[in-house]
Homo-oligomer: A and B are copies of this chain.
Amino acid sequence: METGITPALIALDWGTSSLRAYLMDNNGRVLDRRGNRHGIQNLPVPGIAGFEQVFAEISADWLAKYPGLPAVAGGMVGSAQGWAEAPYVPCPADTATLAGRAVAVESASGIRLLIAPGVIFDLPDANPDVMRGEEIQIAGALADHPEFGPRACIALPGTHSKWVQVSDGRIARFATYMTGELFAVLSRHSILGRLMPEEEGTDAEARSAAFTDGVNAARKGSAGDLAHQIFATRTLGLTRRLPAEALKDYLSGLLIGSELVSGLALMRDTLASDTPLVLIGEDALCERYVRALDILGVRVSAKLENTAPRGLFQLAFAAGLVPSLPSTQATAP
């Protein structure tokens, strides 16, 4: 931690499988960070006591040194299975909307923790869609990059990828794609995994070519084809058209490509007229999306990582927990 800086906020990005905690100053800078595997589905003891214990442990020395710091949290910690349920707010939603509907809990040690709600997109005659955590990442991205506020398409690759239309600084609409989870369950639990070796492959060229093949197969797909197309992951292995070590890359390319074909079509109107396409997520995964988008002839405007701390700071500011908003320049890493 730098000296001479005063901590102003504890920010928690508390998801299903992990918890990340940040100590931030008045200017939205991260002074200290830590994380563990105590996501909401992996608490040391069940229920509220589990949340209390994990929060107390991860923030103990921060709070010992700076008693009474305000705290905010986003992600699945606000779900029905979380510390306290913060019901979804409808689109269009921005940081002020989130702050206005956040739910406060008081920890055993007397710290007030403000928990962000998720967002629901719910039109008549369509199925509802939901997010929890991504709205915080988007808030952070828009704070760091105000140029995307007026109009942008933001894709957040992951277990449940989100495609988000931003208009006037607000989340206007979005769609979830279970791409990452499909890849995981098909690789681990379906016949497609049988031909895949345990070890990571070393033939980078073959793996890259297989990924490209998968993306191109997705590009040629029509409605409903996916359940057929994924079977090629097996037949290309059986017939030795692809080496076993490249089969995962083929499936990855096919699933990511399918998401892109659908997501780009969904955002067609948004993406017209030079609207930026922004990726937020883990860098290696975003790089796969950049490559797949390149194969489809689509350029990415920006690739951002870990915008959650900044989003949580924005939430804290909108809720009046920190006195000032940082300038964009001051917080650039």
Contact = CB atoms under 8 A, between A and B. Distances in A.
Contacts of A185: 185-186, 189-190
A9 to B, nearest CB: 30
A295 interface: no
A138 interface: no
Interface stretch (A50-58, A59-67, A231-239, A297-305): A231-239
Given A191-B181, A231-B177, A221 B218 contact: no
Interface stretch (A105-113, A259-267, A272-280): A259-267
B181 A235 contact: no
A224 interface: yes
A191 B178 CA distance: 10
Contacts of A260: 224
A127 interface: yes
A262 B227 contact: yes
A291 interface: no
Contacts of A229: 127
A209 interface: no
A227 B128 contact: no
Given A221-B224, A223-B221, A232 B127 contact: yes
Contacts of A128: 232, 235-236, 238-239, 241
Q: Report copies per complex.
A: 2
A236 to B, nearest CB: 6
B227 A255 contact: yes
A117 to B, nearest CB: 14
A238 B255 CA distance: 25
Interface in A220-261: 221-232, 235-236, 238-239, 241, 255, 257-261
Nearest to A225: B262
A69 interface: no
Contacts of A95: none
B235 A127 contact: yes
A243 to B, nearest CB: 15
Contacts of A227: 177-179, 182, 226, 255, 258-259, 262
A188 interface: yes
A129 interface: yes
A107 B262 CA distance: 53
A258 B189 contact: no
A307 interface: no
A217 interface: yes
B129 A235 contact: yes
Contacts of A224: 218, 221, 226, 257-263, 265
A188 B189 contact: yes
A73 to B, nearest CB: 20
A160 interface: yes
A138 to B, nearest CB: 18
A231 B160 contact: yes
A223 B262 contact: yes
Interface of A: 120, 122, 127-130, 160, 175-179, 181-182, 185-186, 188-192, 217-218, 221-232, 235-236, 238-239, 241, 255, 257-263, 265-266
Which 7 pairs between the two chains have the least Cβ-Cβ distance?
Answer: A224-B262, A127-B232, A224-B261, A224-B258, A177-B227, A176-B231, A226-B226
